[in-house]
Structure 1
Amino acid sequence: MKRSMMATKLYVPAPRRGFVARPRLREKLRLGSDSGLTLVSAPAGFGKTALLADWLGDATVQERRVAWLSLDAGDGEPATFWSGVITSLQSAVPGVGSTALELIGSSPLATELVLTTLVNDLAAAPQDVWLVLDDYHTVDSQAVGTGLAYFLENLPPQVHVVVSTRSDPDLPLSRWRVRGELAEIRAADLRFTPDETAAYLNGVAGLDLAAEQVNTLDQRTEGWIAALQLAALSLRDREDAAAFIERFAGDHRYIVDYLVEEVLEHQPDAVRSFLLHTALLDRLTGPLCDAVTGRDDGGTMLLTLERANLFVVPLDDQREWYRYHHLFADVLRGRLLSEEPAQVPLLHRRASHWYESHGHVEDAVRHALAGQDFDRAAHLAELAVPMLRRSRQDAVLFGWLKALPDAAIRRSPLLNVFYGGMLMASGDLAGVEQRLDDADRALAEAQRPAAGAAAAGLEGAETQELQMLPATIAMYRASLAQARGDVAGTSAHARRALDMAGPDHHFARGAAAAFLGLAAWADGDVLGALETFTQAVASLRAAGNLLDELSSTVILADMWLAAGRPGEARRICGNALRQADARGDSMMRASAELQVALSEICRQAGDLSDANRHLETASAFVEKGPMTESRYRWFVASALVAQDEGPDLALSYLDQAAELFRPGFFPDVRPIPAIKARVWVRQGNLSEAASWARAAGLSVRDDASYMQEYSHLTLVRLLIAQQHAHPDTNAAAGAVDLLDRLLASATDSGRGGSVVEIRMLQALAHDVLGHRRQALEALGAAFAGSPEPDEYVRLFLDEGPPMIELLREAASEAMHDAPDTATHDAAAAAHAQRLLTLGAPSEPQPPRPAERPPSDVDPLSERELQVLRLLDSELSGPEIARALFISHNTVRTHTKHIFTKLGVTSRRAAVSRARDRGLM
């Protein structure tokens, strides 16, 4: 089954025959070219679509590129809505939005990233582009509205959006109105004037009414075009026109009810039946109408209705596809429910079967749901799973799952598993387990004799997805155990998945091997993890799953870092990045993840310039990217780089990371709260760090455990800092024994990276306790314990003045030793001197030049002043970005410019300096 968009949704309606010329409204639309948004807002039947069709058909606007999207209730999901918008724009500007369309496949949808990418493409459009969103009121979605507001705020000047809607959208219209960025056409504008009413009734409709009769209808309809159309239709061939007009009264709803009854009563039974039975279709074509009505005259009937002006609107130039006027369709549906309620489910089911047979799975599911044929809807969803997974349309599947009754999902092993995946993405681990249990039960039922399979709705669904389902369930259970920190459970479920996967099921085998590797990693067996996970990556390659293969390289690099081989981690990430970049946009997610990994490696090696460059490259995707397991890592890497700019910025990034983090597929070997505690220790905020240690239940008497190692090493840093702050407390004494136990565990398991860090902390712990000789020996062992000592720079320099003092002594002591007795010391001294050169020059720094007078300072731009004012608040960087409707990356750029112009290095200093200079 294929996923496709009905081309008729993109059809720009042709001007209607006999349309009453309305130059005053054309002028309003022309003035909209000075605004980003033109809002055409009025109740049903005020001629919004007809007006736009007439305006766009004007020869004076032919040079403009026009993209049209007719919206309906099925477009309420952001992924569907923005897919339609981009497809529509591509019909006007070929090639635009291809990257954005690929990004929509992620789940949950990263709307701002999609729109940022789309806006960047549109900025290069050589001509004015007009995007018309017709019937926007059918999209009742706050998520769509939020994305549309962001899109409109960032439009390039040559792009204009027209929104046609029955009710005002939930957009910041007041703000745009004040800025002069909004053009509006309201019901008061759209109402027919008396002259236009006369032109329509006597010109277009040909009724030849007296001026008094025209005025009466104009007053009683208040220029409402739909009511006038219905009145004209009812007046046709009437001999008692005056009496009819005299009775014509009441509010709009009753007028419409009365007139539609008049219209329907004057139609032959065959026409009336056709109208009612096809009213539930959003789009009409002959074969579809035949399938729903059980007749064979659908095409002929649609042409007849069009000629009779019975409220059908053609959707293409071939007159194959139509739709009813929305107001007319609403009334027809109401009549159908009133007169033939039992027919409604049957009609929806017939429509569902037709759409399925023609490859339109989403429409087929929608009508099955509307017809309350939930087992069929579930079955169709099952058949669509392979297609949706290949195209990464998880959001569509999750939308169906939310619409299906729970009982229908529980009968389907496939849907239970993927519902569990949706819950895991949201962090509901208990819900995941229940769904996997339901999947096991449903699968057992499906594997019974034919009656059981039919009851489960899986007849004919023996696809590879179903064949692989037992292994898939086991993999999800491994992931669940991983998220709960159950290493043994992770390994057991992964082995079970591996046993159940067939020899040709490379993806299943690769995923199972990956979990075995992750379990070994979580257990501290890094060498075993490397061997197993490398095999997993090879299986992904054999399965042809390049995206997952390249993304998994990031995890493999983490393992090499734990093994003390950052150079190897750098090499494999670089190779994978070149492959990803060679594939272009399709591998953008993997490319971004690899850039983040390389940023951390570069920072550790002391190359802050490259670290920032990698983060900058990745930011466009990761910062607003899909909610993947690794998205939070961009914020962690940014926090590590930002520590030198000030702890507040680093902590802000870590807060963002914590919001995004979801336990799941990877061992949490570097918990975000522990990273924050390290920032506090470096900042000197020992009380916050101590509160973290108490809340985490950490003690120097704890057993050595790899999953707790990062937290234990953070605790050691806290104890050393407390000892420096209060020398008489002997706070660091217990840290020495803990470090000895951690060192033994790391050495036995081949975790070379841990060995370097532990020995470095041993040096600091001995030093603060007054054991200078032991401190220097531990420092030398830290240098000697790594085959790649030059890759470890920030590990040492981040420890600040105590480490600088030790490095200076290590460098100077070796200079006084005889070369033949101090080879080891000489190597340590050389490395110490290199670190000092990189991070702490031995010569005193010259005094800073006197501050320039304010008149000599580079002026701040208006946007920089806006950012500066918000820096003087409690808002985080991402919150400032949202407040100003710009990207977080742009906020960072403005902040750097502000710091440079004011000659400061922190947010607080910038605000203070700005106050001194009268800029606030």
Structure 2
Amino acid sequence: MKRSIAATKFYVPAPRRGFVARPRLREKLRLGAESGLTLVSAPAGFGKTALLADWLAEAAGPDRCVAWLSLDPADSEPAAFWSCVATSLRSAVPGVGSAALELIASTPLATELVLTSLVNDLAAVPRDVWLVLDDYHAVDGHGVGTGMASFLEHLSPQVHVVLSTRSDPDLPLSRWRVSGELVEIRAADLRFTPDETAAYLNDVAGLDLGAGQVSTLDERTEGWIAALQLAALSLRGRDDVEGFIERFAGNDRYIVDYLVEEVLERQPDAVRSFLLHTAVLDRLTGPLCDAVTGRSGGGGMLVTLERANLFVIPLDDHREWYRYHHLFADVLRGRLLSEEPGRIPLLHQRASHWHESQGHLEDAVRHALAGRDFDRAARLVELAVPVLRRSRQDAVLFGWLKALPDAAIRRSAVLSVFYGGMLMAAGELSGVEQRFDDAERALAGAERSLPGREPASTEPAGVDPSVDPSVDPSVDPEELGMLPATIAMYRASLAQAMGDVAGTTAHARKALDLAGPNHHFARGAAGAFLGLAAWAQGDVPGALETFTLAVTSLRAAGNLLDELSSTVILADMWQVAGRSGEAHRICELALQQAETQGESLVRASAELHVALSEICRQAGDLSAALEHLEAAAAFVAKGPMTESRYRWYVATALVAQDEGNPDGAISYLDQAEQLFRPGFFPDVRPIPAIKARVWIRQGKFSTAATWARAAGVAAADSVSYMQEYSHLTLVRLLMAQERAEPESGAAGGVIDLLDRLLASAAASGRAGSVVEIHMLQALAHHVLGHRREAQEALGAALTGSPEPDQYVRLFLDEGAPMLELLRGAAGEANSVGTHDGGAAARAQRVLTAGAGPQTEPRQSQSPRPEPSQSGERPPSYVDPLSERELQVLRLLGSELSGPEIARALFISHNTLRTHTKHIFTKLGVTSRRSAVGRAHDRGLL
């Protein structure tokens, strides 16, 4: 279910009848076409909306698209705001905004990805696009403002944004003003001039006032349009016009209350009552007004109010939906609160009932909450749960649940279990188990109470204490029947997130026992958790078998999205099993299937592209890895990636590292950490450990050592699969420290740790881990001076996998020490006699993939690095040029300028400078000409 948003929020208001022409302001608005942002900022009642409506009608044409959005406080959360913006754009410009709406449905909201999607969609529109955000002050805040600033910074030239607001937004207006990117219309511009005041009072309002009277009102109001409009209403039919004008004080802070009182008091009782009682509504239509007031004739009353200019604004061309002027509505609500405070909840409850009868579920819930009818609101949310869950509208459900009192949630088995699931998905693990306990207690009460439950009343009323609120007849009994298995499934997920493998297994088995034979989704999810538990224990063959069966159940349930997303997990398992080729195959097949479904499976497509990028990178194919990342980035902007969203940033970081940009890699990993939530999958590759590997390659050993202390890893630890990645990172750190200071003895316990890790990996069938451990054993023996043992371990690493070509980056990432070992294996394999020519051929292929033979031979002992000013030691080796650096190097030998090279490679000029700096460092030169010459000498060009 897509987020339900009133269509009337997106109607461009029709020009007001008798609108006073204001060519000077139209010209300022026209200048907005030459800037990215037009700001219309003034207090309430200065005619901002009316001006924009008149201008848009006058400037309409086939060469522009106009997206209008009327904002209110309900849109102040970032998810709600960007959902409204995307919906507005989609309604005005075909093809824009649909992808962003899919992404917004995820939890937590990935604002950066939403903005990327919208900016990219708008960049592809060939016509001018105007996005008008009316009443922006209602949503302005840090949460929305930060994203809005980024959105405006990245818009293409043909896109123009107009903000209409009562106060200046939290945006970098000063900077944009200096750079000429901002057109401003403020209160001083909007104030009526004396001529405009006269035109309004006499020509529009028909008051026939004298020049002196007009001048007095103009001076007293200082051109404030709302005050003039209210004054005109009060003056109609008044005998003492001169006296009223003399007493009128436009700068009196109570003037609005005074004039509205004048207006209200002059209305018949029926009109006054209608105005007050319908003030609780954001939008008005005849039948809704009838339901709220308890009377008939609401549609006719709205037409009467519009004709009388009683601050009623039509929202569509058919005069079916209206709203009150915001200033007028505020005063009406204040008057209602003062006169009839006890009636307000009833009015909201009646509105909720009407909206429910019309299928406007979101409005029904909102009014039920405003009317403090929390049991009804809880029932309405229960009704929505199946649809919301199927369509992955978790953000909407989570928002409703947070607005409900805790007691109302605890009384509902359905709401308790899914609230626990929402909290867990948001990374808020504390208290989640209590929610599942509440669900089980409520479920027990529901099963006892279901047969004798009375039907719910159709008219708002107090809660009947004789009725057990733990169950509602609106809840599908079959849904209740599935809840025990669902609760067990969520408990398995919680145990997984907490690292409790035994608990994960126990709860998953319970879910399997509780799920019926035809509840394929429950059986598939439970089976998946059993597979994940086996994976967390390092039993990869068992995990593969169990998880594959779980995916089959998901397929039987018709849940294609989860089936294809689960392929990514299977691919991870196959890689650990040493079968990267199989991982690549199943991801390619799943991606083909996802792409045939179009935008409905963008999330699965994104996840599969990321997985393929990681596989290709490991095989040394950086070009393919980049292509998949770029494709994934486009999909990320179109659809949510839930808990695995962070993996795109991790994969991008690893490619950045391979391209010689470690700082960029750390930046991407920082973003990945912000997105990461402990959840459904074992955290077998912790992001802090990945960052530590980058620091080690940079020579930042003390920074990496700080990570090791924080992670609590040491060479004497007992080994487990969940700690394997961290232990192998520690091994790299200790060896790097040993190279930097051979007398330190830092690598003393490395061999024993690797032996224990190898035994564990071999016993559990983790062939991929075995290859990596053998490789690190070779490096450890090398740094300790054990030449023969190093070559033996390297031979085992090179020949121990049926798919050796899938591990190119594993070897190349270790830099100069590994290159030295590989050269030895390639040239000395037969003479050493410890492994055959297969190892030599495989070593040569790795060297070729890394341009190893094209680089100058290095000394067998790297020079001891000098400490840097920061206290860190620089790396004791230099990486070979990456594929991207080779591309840059080739163009450095051309006649192209720097900016032209950047454009040819589709990168920024700053990125080009970074690549050039790395090339100069690696080649030991300081100019383009020297770099090209040195590259020719080494056979790189």
Tell me the TM-score normalised to structure 1 length: 0.90
Q: Which amino acid aligns with 1:772?
A: R
Q: Is the CA contact (8 Å cut-off) linking 2:496 and 2:680 kept in structure 1?
A: yes
Cα deviation for residue 906 of structure 1 reads 7.2
Q: Which amino acid aligns with 2:648?
A: W
Cα deviation for residue 859 of structure 1 reads 4.8
- Deviation per CA, 1:844-878: give whole Å up to 9, x if none: 649999x99x999965559999xxxxxxxxxxxxx
Q: Structure 1 residues 333 and 696, CA, compared in 2 at 3 Å: closer, same or farther? A: closer
CA distance in 2, matches of 1:48, 1:691: 57
Partner of 1:388: 388
Q: Which amino acid aligns with 1:178?
A: V
Q: Structure 1 residues 458 and 906, CA, compared in 2 at 3 Å: closer, same or farther? A: farther
Q: Report SS of the residue matched to 2:642.
A: coil
CA distance in 1, matches of 2:917, 2:68: 48
CA distance in 2, matches of 1:858, 1:900: 16
Within 5 Å, give how 1:298-317 maps onto structure 2: 298-317=298-317
Partner of 2:121: 121
CA distance in 2, matches of 1:846, 1:389: 60
Q: Report SS of the residue matched to 2:597.
A: helix
Q: Is the CA contact (8 Å cut-off) linking 2:656 and 2:662 kept in structure 1?
A: yes
- Deviation per CA, 1:575-626: give whole Å up to 9, x if none: 1122222223332222222222122212221222222222232234559985
Q: Report SS of the residue matched to 1:682.
A: helix
Q: Which amino acid aligns with 1:784?
A: T
Within 5 Å, give how 1:418-429 maps onto structure 2: 418-429=418-429
- Deviation per CA, 1:645-672: give whole Å up to 9, x if none: 0443333333333333222111111222
Within 5 Å, give how 1:143-542 maps onto structure 2: 143-249=143-249, 251-450=251-450, 454-456=468-470, 458-462=472-476, 465-542=479-556
Match of 2:757 among 742, 746, 753: 742
Q: Report SS of the residue matched to 1:40.
A: strand
Q: Report SS of the residue matched to 2:232.
A: helix
Q: Is the CA contact (8 Å cut-off) linking 2:646 and 2:676 kept in structure 1?
A: yes
Q: Is the CA contact (8 Å cut-off) linking 2:41 and 2:185 kept in structure 1?
A: yes
Partner of 2:873: none
CA distance in 2, matches of 1:471, 1:900: 54
Cα deviation for residue 337 of structure 1 reads 0.8
Q: Structure 1 residues 907 and 695, CA, compared in 2 at 3 Å: closer, same or farther? A: farther
- Of stretches 696-705 and 507-516 in structure 1, the one that deviates more from structure 2 is 696-705
Partner of 1:827: 838
Q: Is the CA contact (8 Å cut-off) linking 1:746 and 1:752 kept in structure 2?
A: yes
Partner of 2:23: 23
Tell me the TM-score normalised to structure 2 length: 0.88
Partner of 1:799: 814
- Deviation per CA, 1:210-257: give whole Å up to 9, x if none: 222222222212222222222221221222212222222253542221
Match of 1:602 among 616, 619, 628: 616
Q: Structure 1 residues 863 and 331, CA, compared in 2 at 3 Å: closer, same or farther? A: farther
CA distance in 2, matches of 1:137, 1:467: 47
Q: Structure 1 residues 555 and 254, CA, compared in 2 at 3 Å: closer, same or farther? A: same
CA distance in 2, matches of 1:720, 1:641: 24
Q: Is the CA contact (8 Å cut-off) linking 2:613 and 2:625 kept in structure 1?
A: yes
Q: Which amino acid aligns with 2:438?
A: D
- Of stretches 356-365 and 163-172 in structure 1, the one that deviates more from structure 2 is 163-172
Q: Which amino acid aligns with 2:101?
A: L
Q: Is the CA contact (8 Å cut-off) linking 1:18 and 1:204 kept in structure 2?
A: yes
Partner of 1:655: 670
Q: Structure 1 residues 253 and 527, CA, compared in 2 at 3 Å: closer, same or farther? A: same
Cα deviation for residue 379 of structure 1 reads 1.6
Matched, 1:679 2:694: yes
Q: Is the CA contact (8 Å cut-off) linking 2:99 and 2:639 kept in structure 1?
A: no
Q: Report SS of the residue matched to 2:133.
A: strand
Cα deviation for residue 569 of structure 1 reads 0.7
Q: Which amino acid aligns with 1:812?
A: G
Cα deviation for residue 366 of structure 1 reads 1.0
Match of 2:716 among 677, 693, 701: 701
Q: Structure 1 residues 237 and 62, CA, compared in 2 at 3 Å: closer, same or farther? A: farther
Cα deviation for residue 357 of structure 1 reads 0.8
CA distance in 2, matches of 1:475, 1:785: 39
Q: Report SS of the residue matched to 1:430.
A: coil
- Of stretches 836-845 and 423-432 in structure 1, the one that deviates more from structure 2 is 836-845
Cα deviation for residue 363 of structure 1 reads 0.8
Cα deviation for residue 195 of structure 1 reads 1.6
Cα deviation for residue 347 of structure 1 reads 0.3
Q: Which amino acid aligns with 2:169?
A: P
- Deviation per CA, 1:763-819: give whole Å up to 9, x if none: 3333444443333333222233212122222222323333333333333334448xx
CA distance in 2, matches of 1:443, 1:114: 38
Cα deviation for residue 464 of structure 1 reads 5.2
Cα deviation for residue 568 of structure 1 reads 0.5
Q: Is the CA contact (8 Å cut-off) linking 2:652 and 2:668 kept in structure 1?
A: yes
Q: Is the CA contact (8 Å cut-off) linking 1:526 and 1:559 kept in structure 2?
A: yes
Cα deviation for residue 170 of structure 1 reads 1.8
CA distance in 1, matches of 2:927, 2:646: 33
Q: Which amino acid aligns with 1:828?
A: A
Q: Is the CA contact (8 Å cut-off) linking 1:533 and 1:556 kept in structure 2?
A: yes
Cα deviation for residue 299 of structure 1 reads 1.1
Q: Is the CA contact (8 Å cut-off) linking 2:489 and 2:525 kept in structure 1?
A: yes
Q: Report SS of the residue matched to 1:342.
A: helix
Q: Structure 1 residues 92 and 240, CA, compared in 2 at 3 Å: closer, same or farther? A: same
Cα deviation for residue 390 of structure 1 reads 3.0
- Of stretches 456-465 and 854-863 in structure 1, the one that deviates more from structure 2 is 854-863
CA distance in 1, matches of 2:921, 2:669: 17
Q: Which amino acid aligns with 2:272?
A: R
Partner of 1:779: 794
Q: Report SS of the residue matched to 1:455.
A: coil
CA distance in 2, matches of 1:620, 1:188: 44
Q: Structure 1 residues 185 and 840, CA, compared in 2 at 3 Å: closer, same or farther? A: closer
CA distance in 2, matches of 1:500, 1:391: 25
Q: Report SS of the residue matched to 2:39.
A: strand
Q: Report SS of the residue matched to 2:341.
A: coil
- Of stretches 424-433 and 683-692 in structure 1, the one that deviates more from structure 2 is 683-692
Partner of 2:112: 112
CA distance in 2, matches of 1:808, 1:42: 73
Cα deviation for residue 757 of structure 1 reads 1.7
Q: Which amino acid aligns with 1:177?
A: R
CA distance in 1, matches of 2:697, 2:124: 46
Q: Report SS of the residue matched to 1:183.
A: strand
Q: Is the CA contact (8 Å cut-off) linking 2:449 and 2:471 kept in structure 1?
A: no
**Identical amino acids, percent of aligned pairs:** 75
CA distance in 1, matches of 2:192, 2:601: 54
CA distance in 1, matches of 2:82, 2:218: 40
Q: Is the CA contact (8 Å cut-off) linking 1:633 and 1:657 kept in structure 2?
A: yes
Q: Which amino acid aligns with 2:761?
A: A
Q: Is the CA contact (8 Å cut-off) linking 1:625 and 1:631 kept in structure 2?
A: no
Cα deviation for residue 733 of structure 1 reads 4.7
CA distance in 1, matches of 2:316, 2:674: 47
Q: Is the CA contact (8 Å cut-off) linking 2:576 and 2:767 kept in structure 1?
A: yes
- Deviation per CA, 1:670-696: give whole Å up to 9, x if none: 222322333333334444444433443
Q: Is the CA contact (8 Å cut-off) linking 1:112 and 1:624 kept in structure 2?
A: no
Q: Structure 1 residues 502 and 242, CA, compared in 2 at 3 Å: closer, same or farther? A: same
Q: Structure 1 residues 159 and 691, CA, compared in 2 at 3 Å: closer, same or farther? A: closer
Q: Is the CA contact (8 Å cut-off) linking 1:471 and 1:497 kept in structure 2?
A: yes
Partner of 2:865: none
Within 5 Å, give how 1:623-634 maps onto structure 2: 626=640, 628-634=642-648
Q: Structure 1 residues 640 and 208, CA, compared in 2 at 3 Å: closer, same or farther? A: closer
Q: Is the CA contact (8 Å cut-off) linking 1:478 and 1:490 kept in structure 2?
A: yes
Match of 1:813 among 828, 842, 846: 828
Q: Structure 1 residues 258 and 698, CA, compared in 2 at 3 Å: closer, same or farther? A: closer
CA distance in 1, matches of 2:665, 2:115: 27
Q: Is the CA contact (8 Å cut-off) linking 1:723 and 1:731 kept in structure 2?
A: yes
CA distance in 2, matches of 1:683, 1:13: 59
List alignment gaps of at least 5 residues for structure 1.
866-888
